[in-house]
Amino acid sequence: MLGTRQIYNRTECAVDVIFVLDESWSVLPKNFELSKSFLSELVGRLDVDSGNGTRVGLVCYSDDVDHTEAFNLNEHSSVASVQSAISSLTYSPGMTHTAAALRYVREKMLTSAAGDRADVPNLVIVMTDGDSTVNENDTKVCTQG
C-alpha cells in the first residue's frame, strides 16, 4: 500500500524511469529509510519483469552524485533486483546539490549506453526535502536539455 490508498494493478506501459534521491543532511536517516521503502513499494507496482515495460535507474545525491550506488536503466531486469538495489542504499549526507544530480542523469544515465530507449518516454522523478543548497541557480538550467 502506498500511503493510505491501495494500488491494485501493476502499471503496464513502456517507460524509462530514473529516481533521483536526495540524501542531504536535512533528510535525516529515518526519512531516507522511508524514501527507500516508498520507492521499493512503488517499483513493485511497475512492469519491470516483462523485459519490454518499465526500466528503472536511480541515483542518490547530496554534495555530489553517489556514483557507487547509482544504477542505470539496463542494470536490473526484475522487480526483485531493483528492490534489492534500493534496499542496499546507504545514507551519505551532505549539502543539497540537485543541479549535479540532474546533470548526471542527463549526461550519463539518459544515454543508449546506459539503457535509455529512444522509442519510449523518459520520466525523471526527483525526491527531495527542499531547495538546493549548492549552486541553486544551476538547478533550473539543468532541467532544460
Residue 131 included in any domain:
yes
- Are the C-beta atoms of 59 and 66 separated by less than 8 Å? yes
Statement: residue 8 has pLDDT above 80? no
Average pLDDT of span 59-77: 94
Please report the pLDDT score of residue 1 as a whole number. Answer: 44
What CATH number is given to the structural domain containing 56? 3.40.50.410
DSSP secondary structure, 95-122, as one string: ---HHHHHHHIIIIISSGGGT--TTS-E
pLDDT one-digit tens code per residue, 71-89: 999 999 999 999 999 999 9
What pLDDT band is residue 50 in, cutting at 50, 70 and 90?
confident
Q: Other CB atoms closer than 10 Å to residue 48's CB: what's the count? A: 23
How many domains are there within the chain?
1
Per the confidence metrics, is the pTM higher than 0.95?
no
pLDDT one-digit tens code per residue, 95-143: 988 999 999 999 999 999 999 999 999 999 999 987 666 555 555 555 5
Residue 130 included in any domain:
yes
Q: Other CB atoms closer than 10 Å to residue 98's CB: what's the count? A: 24
DSSP secondary structure, 33-96, as one string: HHHHHHHHHHHTTB--TTSSSEEEEEEEESSSB-TTT-B-TTS--SHHHHHHHHHT--------
